[in-house]
Structure 1
Amino acid sequence: MTIPFKNHRAPRLLALAGAVAMALAAGCSNDDSTDSNSNNSAKPGETAAKYQAEISRTSFGVPHIKANDEGSLAYGVAYAYSQDNVCLLADEFTTVSGERSKHFGPTATRQTSDIPNLQTDFFYRVINDDEAVKTAWNAHSAPMKAMIEGYVAGYNDYLEKTGMNKLPAACKNGSWVRKVSEQDMIKLLRRYAAEASSGQFIAAIVGATPPGQNGLLPAVPPKAGMHPMDPDYWVAMRERTGSNAVALGKDATDNGQGMLLGTPHFPWRGALRFYQLHLTIPGKLDAMGAALGGMPMVNIGFNQNLAWSHTVNNSAHFTVHMTPLDPSDPTKYLVDGKPQAMIRKTVNVEVKGADGVLSTQSRTFYSTQYGPLVVIPGQLDWNAGMAFSLNDANLGNHRLLEQWYGMNTAHNMDEFKASIERTVGLPWVNTLAVDKEGAALFTDVTVVPHVTKAMQDACVPAPFKPLAARGLFVLNGATSACAPATDINAPQAGIFAGASLPRLLRSDYVQNSNDSAWLSNPLAPITGFPDIVSVDNVEQFGRTRLGITQVQKRLAGTDGLAGRKMTVAQLQALALGNRVYYADQIMDDVLALCRDAQAGSGDITTACARLNQWDRTVNLDSNIGYLYFTGLWERILRVPGMWAVPFNPADPVNTPRGLNLANPAIANTVRQALAAAAQDVAKLGVSQDTRWGDVQLATRGTRRIPIHGGKGTDGVYNAIGTVPSGDGKLEVIYGTSYIQTVSFNKDGPQVQAMLAYSQSTDPASQHFADQTERFSKKEWITQPYTEAQIKADPAFSTMTVTRKADGKPASKP
């Protein structure tokens, strides 16, 4: 059944007055002042503490951080995170400050990117210029400023107390490791906000030069699927940073209370790695889960009354604007028939030469009133008559911390939902949540440019309408009427208000696996939204169909198990069962074709033999039939006319299915794809009698840990992405990361979770691989949450970290 919504929108004038009052109360602060909100009083003769936090550690290195105020809590988070991942965080501060070329040279790339440092540096210098950073800082409330200041102090104090020569090997005495400022933290937050918008247009922004001038990119047409104006690009991005989540309400669980599964699929390297932590301000906040580096808040997790997870959403967070140019000057554009000069910004980047000598490279960037110019050769060109600019709505989103703070501190589902709708601070993720009473919530409330259906019809030029139908918007920039509209109920100009975006509250279930809001629950389809928000009646991902199918069968009692309600163990089996959904849809037909194989169709004998023996899973003991399947599937998944039963919007969970082998051309295409897949396996050098767990690995020092799971595009719920390691093995680089199940009973939240890649990036740490070993064995870890559980943990230890009012760090065990 659907539970009606209540209206929680606070009067805007009261909210504004409250914000002004908080800002006036905050006044000015510096590292030498005493935090007026702090209870860290000094004993007679001692210097008062500005920040003080207790960091207790339990098994697997999970920190439980307790403090009396927001600044001290963030101080403790930064200190604990630095103990485990200081090199990773230092590297990210270098990136968002545009200083990679200064230390690593202009042509090198990051571990997680193929974009050269010089392009990355120019991009971050553009989006994180002084004015943008100042504006963002001023937009934060006093408590959030306190958290930013506290995090900066915690990170800097860790560096000072540890010493540069005692840091982990990856950054020991690194010239790029330095103390940071509040401005650096703002730059990092902006980097996270822009991940699914400007962050995917780095090459297009840096490569935008006036006609006749050479840019930093070669002017060659992009390959299909390799640029952000191709919808398939975003499908691939959601696979790299996508997720699954299922929220079960009281009508679907064995004990009649809420139950949640969250399985985000994020990179195993770089800043988007999650970190487990537990945050407590007595009487105000008590949340546990995982957060991205630099975040002093739990992003995915639970508190005493609620649990939530996120999935990368399907909405667009930017618009592209096509503007005609003044025929006499390609740096002047026309809006409403009036010429306007583009804004010019010259950016300087320090560059380390091959001889180690620093020099400065300069680059002039151009913007219209909509945003920076972008160039994608052959798709979005800047020529004498036309140019394109990018409006990134999330660069105006300064509410990330405020949003997660509201979620972390919510006492019930009403407060939780109201916080999301009021703040609209989530940049690019859906939210799925449950409470202990058994309500299940889905929201697709994020920062989305305000482009209505009427605007879509009137403002999208004809050549770009097919893109708009898939959620990518190029608008007519020649008229101001086609700029994203302003909603007086939204916290930011040019975006939708939270109350006008998709959400659904149920007592049975909601789910999402990176598809649109449409089929969050097939019994209550979410329809009628602009395509920029949510696209209806389109084919769903295999992971979506798998999740819905398994939940439906469980609740109908048709999955072969007892009863018709979900248990935690059954939910965990859904998460890590490792079924390959699309194998179930086509393998019977593939094997029939194998039995009927014709001469001259390529060498498919070995492929057919392995597929015939394959159990259609990607568990450690499965044979390598999966390698042949995935090679086949990636070659046929977009072949027109492939399906025997095409997609039917009236039956979106069960269609499409089956191969159209009655068509000789399709049958031949499948044979050729099988032969090509066999060649791929041969090139990889995999032994035919090996197991999947001998092929897909996570390297931790000298250990090579077998990892189950497979590609999300193959319909594997436990999505794992790899790259060849050159020795017949596949190295995991992204996929299932922080995975949790949360249920509730009379004793509060009951949580089992794993951080698939472990807490620390330091090979010398005892927590560099311990959870990876547990993930490999599917051994879920019970999370200690209450004070008694934490102190009873066999690995319990505790320390207090302090910064005194005189600015000096101190710590004690």
Structure 2
Amino acid sequence: MMICPLLLNTALLRNASAMLLAAALPGCSGDSTSATSRLPLVAEITRTAYGIPHVKAVDEASLGYGVGFVQAQDGVCALAEQFVEVAGERARYFGEGVALPQTLGVPANLSSDIFFRLLNDEDSVVAAQSAQTPEVTALMQGWVAGYNRFVRDTAASSLPAACRNAEWVRPVTIRDLARLMRFYNAIGGMLDLQGVIAAAAPPSPAFTGASVGSRASSKASHGDVVTAHLSQAVARRPTASNALAIGKDLSANGRGILLGNPHLPWHGPLRMGMLHVTLENKLDTMGATLPGVPVVGIGFNDQFAWTHTTTTSRHGTFYRLQLDPGNATNYLVNGQSRPMRGRTVQVTVKERSGAVRIDRRTLYTSEFGWIVAWKEDGTAIAYKDALVDSHRLVEEWYGINRARSLDEIKTFIQRNVGNPWNNTIAADRLGATIFLAVTPVPKLSPERLQRCLITEPELQLVPGSFLLEAREDCHWEIDPDAPQAGIVAGKSMPALLRTDFVHNANDSAWIAQPAAPLTGYSPLVSEERQPLPARARFGLSQIAAVARRGGTLAPDDVQALVTGNRVYQADLWLDDLLLACAGVPELETGCSALRAWDRKANLDAGVGFGYFEAFVMAASTPDAWWRIPFDPADPVNTPAGLRVNDTEIQAAVRKRLASAVEAVDQSGLWSAGRRWGDIQRARLGGQLTGIHGGPDELGTYNAMASRVQSEASVREVEAGASYLQVVSFDNNGPRAKAILAYSQSSDPESPHALDQTLLFARKEWVTLPFTTREISADPSRRRLLIAE
């Protein structure tokens, strides 16, 4: 085992690996199940400015080894805590927690453990691990060895403050990593329903011992409570994104340009980190990835750049089960009673005294999915999720990392259908672009969906969800070309190749390109003829304006789409809002501030921005308020304006504005001439830093979510723009400008906990060093060889 600072070229890396292999062979055991116990692991790690890691290796296991090590260096506490969570052990280390509305009265850590014990039962984890290709298995085994190397070599007292001397920081196994991948797969599916699944219980008590059943509200089975929670759960989904691929028809130099702008939590397991991976003769890719994933998730190589956006496709369906009147854990299918399958999970709970107790909970499943609620009308609701049996995330990202063209990306993604909740958008060096909305989606023919769908408004669970009858003829259908039973084949899902542009900002696939609408798909795959979200309209309208005047776009123009911080809803409403409040004495303060505001969410934005935000966020906008209603033939430009010439609507608009002004003034956030940069701040690196950008609901492309937490005068950033990249190409290859808004390290004491955040606050970007020459030219580079 060694660790030393030196520079290795590929040949030396190969030689080092061979020497370690020769030394290891005499001690190899024939019955070993771990590839990393038989093969040497050698990785070269170079850190350039801002702590950006470049990992080079000659085989997959060694590449994973290097990535696991650097990810532990940058975020061991978040990773270790997430390994605790996905193993269903939060209550064991942190106690049962407090009951929250979203857990329906069950203490939060206990609710989490119940859910993850269900999601990550042993059989499911083994199946997920066994489904990996040999290359992906080697990457994952190597990652585990690299993470464990850091944990083993770092004294508990030297860990970051968040986990210093914590007993829950431990070596992990490949099954721990498989559990983490299943957590990523569950986002946008079962994870949204975590609280209701953990609290769901038939009318008779389901807990034993020191039961938490008595703590769960007796109303947990009531349809109204469950419906309200499901709606809130969907609204809390943690991911969003913007993506724009510019082709040769609109690019200033005739080559592709790619904007990647995922919106993710700034803390926790979805906190991406920058990464450059090089595997001899297979891949050389740079960008960013999720913790625990041993390859780049969003990035570029010398041929193309790609990114992802959160899809609107539905990955599961709800079913209404008619219960057997004689047994609440049986249900009727075509008049025949069938038993639900109970699964008892066991959770270890640390009590305040330090003593440990065991809680048990029996949860139920059916052929139509997991039971999420028993209702008072003699029915139960089940949820069937296509994502829980999709184990192809790492395989898909590894395939993209290895691809050499957009055609290869398309072919691989359509065959694999492995990205659980993301569209893929890419641009290449020749000026082609592609949009793919290919994720695991239930296959239901139009006839079957129409026959089985429950359409009564009072029975709907969540807007946009699909509630079906639990009948024999309502099961998902089998597509022989799909890699997984019950889902749509990738080649039957939306795909679009263009030389002008493609775009997505968490809208459906329908208007990825207004000139070529994608139509005719199942509503589970892509809705059409529905209003677009404001962010999507902003991006599309900006590109359309360039095209109309016969202009082109350079990388700086694409960067400005994000950091310009334009509030698109202000373009739609503010002129009419000013008309409505003009000359009304009691609205003069608000009206004056709105008039002075420049319609941007920059650091210097004044209280006019605060008033407008409160006005927009107060409630959804009734359709009757729009001056120009939505027109499916013009979804980019409609709806628009406020119908303030209508006296009734004018009165309602004035009333909402007056309430918004009052709420903002009473909050004290904007007192004494404070600006947006004084209010919206990020707590990183031991200090608070003002952050530009605004709420998604305002149509701010640079979307940021913040709220008041420990300090009443500050709204701390929780999520938003994370890894931003603008990648272009010239005769010398890719040219990438990027920024990791929350910086590379989550350790407040690291020199890389705040450095990129300060750049982001100043709207500065990092020029990424990609080639060997560029990396070697960085005066701050640090190189390390790790091996075992």
| TM-score where L is the length of structure 2 | 0.91
Deviation at 1:699, TM superposition (A): 2.0
Name the one with the larger helix percent: 2
Identity of aligned residues (%): 41
CA deviation string 1:527-551 (max 9, x = no partner): 1111111100001111111101100
CA distance in 2, matches of 1:86, 1:618: 34
The answer as to whether partners of 1:38 and 1:51 remain within 8 angstroms in 2 is no
Find the residue that maps to 1:170 and give its secondary structure: helix
- The amino acid of 2:603's aligned partner reads L
- The amino acid of 1:394's aligned partner reads L
Match of 1:690 in 2: 674
Deviation at 1:469, TM superposition (A): 11
Match of 2:391 in 1: 398
Find the residue that maps to 2:716 and give its secondary structure: strand
The answer as to whether partners of 1:555 and 1:566 remain within 8 angstroms in 2 is no
Change (3 A) 1:96 1:468: closer
Change (3 A) 1:222 1:515: farther
The answer as to whether partners of 2:140 and 2:174 remain within 8 angstroms in 1 is yes
Change (3 A) 1:453 1:471: farther
Change (3 A) 1:612 1:104: same
Structural mapping, 1:401-416, within 5 Å: 401-416=394-409
CA distance in 2, matches of 1:259, 1:400: 25
CA distance in 1, matches of 2:76, 2:597: 43
2:510 to 515, 518, 532: 518
Tell whether 2:555 aligns with 1:555.
Answer: no
The answer as to whether partners of 1:460 and 1:473 remain within 8 angstroms in 2 is yes
Tell whether 2:581 aligns with 1:594.
Answer: yes
- The amino acid of 2:60's aligned partner reads E
CA deviation string 1:397-443 (max 9, x = no partner): 01011100110110111111111101000101111101111111001
Deviation at 1:706, TM superposition (A): 1.3
Change (3 A) 1:487 1:353: same
Tell whether 2:18 aligns with 1:41.
Answer: yes
Match of 1:769 in 2: 754
1:584 to 557, 571, 574: 571
CA distance in 1, matches of 2:603, 2:614: 19
1:699 to 669, 678, 683: 683
Match of 2:697 in 1: 713
CA distance in 2, matches of 1:345, 1:247: 47
Match of 2:478 in 1: 486
Change (3 A) 1:372 1:168: same
CA distance in 1, matches of 2:277, 2:448: 44
CA distance in 2, matches of 1:587, 1:82: 47
The answer as to whether partners of 1:456 and 1:468 remain within 8 angstroms in 2 is no
The answer as to whether partners of 2:441 and 2:487 remain within 8 angstroms in 1 is yes
CA distance in 1, matches of 2:225, 2:331: 30
Change (3 A) 1:161 1:131: same
Change (3 A) 1:752 1:227: farther
Deviates more, 1:92-101 or 1:141-150: 141-150
Deviates more, 1:682-691 or 1:388-397: 682-691
Deviation at 1:665, TM superposition (A): 2.7
Change (3 A) 1:704 1:651: same
Deviation at 1:223, TM superposition (A): 8.3
Deviation at 1:556, TM superposition (A): 2.0
- The amino acid of 1:140's aligned partner reads Q
Structural mapping, 1:259-278, within 5 Å: 259-278=257-276
Tell whether 2:65 aligns with 1:75.
Answer: yes
Match of 1:442 in 2: 435
CA deviation string 1:654-703 (max 9, x = no partner): 11111111333322222222122122222331225222222211122443
Structural mapping, 1:226-375, within 5 Å: 227=228, 229-230=230-231, 234=234, 236-237=235-236, 240-375=238-373
CA deviation string 1:317-364 (max 9, x = no partner): 111111112221111112233221111111100001110111100001
The answer as to whether partners of 1:648 and 1:655 remain within 8 angstroms in 2 is yes
Change (3 A) 1:216 1:783: farther
CA deviation string 1:135-184 (max 9, x = no partner): 11111111111111111111111111112222111111101111111111
Deviation at 1:308, TM superposition (A): 0.5
Change (3 A) 1:226 1:764: farther
2:455 to 457, 462, 465: 462
Match of 1:179 in 2: 171
2:139 to 141, 147, 171: 147
The answer as to whether partners of 1:107 and 1:117 remain within 8 angstroms in 2 is yes
Match of 1:11 in 2: none
CA distance in 1, matches of 2:483, 2:660: 51
CA deviation string 1:48-76 (max 9, x = no partner): 76211000000000000001111110110
CA distance in 1, matches of 2:267, 2:551: 40
Deviation at 1:595, TM superposition (A): 1.0
CA distance in 2, matches of 1:117, 1:459: 37
CA distance in 2, matches of 1:542, 1:384: 39
Find the residue that maps to 1:158 and give its secondary structure: helix
1:639 to 616, 622, 627: 622
Change (3 A) 1:80 1:424: same
- The amino acid of 2:420's aligned partner reads P
Deviates more, 1:683-692 or 1:402-411: 683-692
CA distance in 2, matches of 1:668, 1:200: 38
Change (3 A) 1:57 1:187: same
CA distance in 1, matches of 2:286, 2:224: 43
CA distance in 2, matches of 1:790, 1:526: 42
CA deviation string 1:106-151 (max 9, x = no partner): 01599x9997100000000001011111111111111111111111
CA distance in 1, matches of 2:189, 2:576: 40
CA distance in 2, matches of 1:713, 1:437: 36
1:54 to 28, 31, 44: 44
CA deviation string 1:682-739 (max 9, x = no partner): 2331225222222211122443211111011101000000011433221111000000
Tell whether 2:786 aligns with 1:801.
Answer: yes
CA distance in 2, matches of 1:347, 1:54: 43
Tell whether 2:633 aligns with 1:667.
Answer: no
Match of 1:4 in 2: none
Deviation at 1:38, TM superposition (A): 10
Change (3 A) 1:215 1:434: farther
CA distance in 1, matches of 2:541, 2:461: 30
Gaps (5+ residues) in structure 2? 1-13, 26-38, 206-212
Tell whether 2:110 aligns with 1:123.
Answer: no
Match of 1:615 in 2: 598
Change (3 A) 1:546 1:176: same
The answer as to whether partners of 1:393 and 1:495 remain within 8 angstroms in 2 is yes
- The amino acid of 2:51's aligned partner reads G
Change (3 A) 1:511 1:271: same
Deviates more, 1:668-677 or 1:52-61: 668-677
Deviation at 1:45, TM superposition (A): 8.4
Match of 1:8 in 2: none
The answer as to whether partners of 2:103 and 2:195 remain within 8 angstroms in 1 is no
Gaps (5+ residues) in structure 1? 1-36, 376-380, 558-562, 804-813
Change (3 A) 1:38 1:628: farther
Match of 1:734 in 2: 719
The answer as to whether partners of 2:685 and 2:747 remain within 8 angstroms in 1 is no
1:211 to 185, 195, 203: 203
CA distance in 2, matches of 1:540, 1:720: 19
Structure 1 stretches of 4+ moved >3 Å = 43-49, 112-115, 212-217, 220-230, 381-384, 464-471
Match of 1:65 in 2: 55
Change (3 A) 1:166 1:226: farther
- The amino acid of 2:750's aligned partner reads S
Change (3 A) 1:634 1:38: farther
Tell whether 2:736 aligns with 1:751.
Answer: yes
Find the residue that maps to 2:387 and give its secondary structure: helix
- The amino acid of 2:18's aligned partner reads S
- The amino acid of 2:600's aligned partner reads T
Tell whether 2:562 aligns with 1:575.
Answer: yes
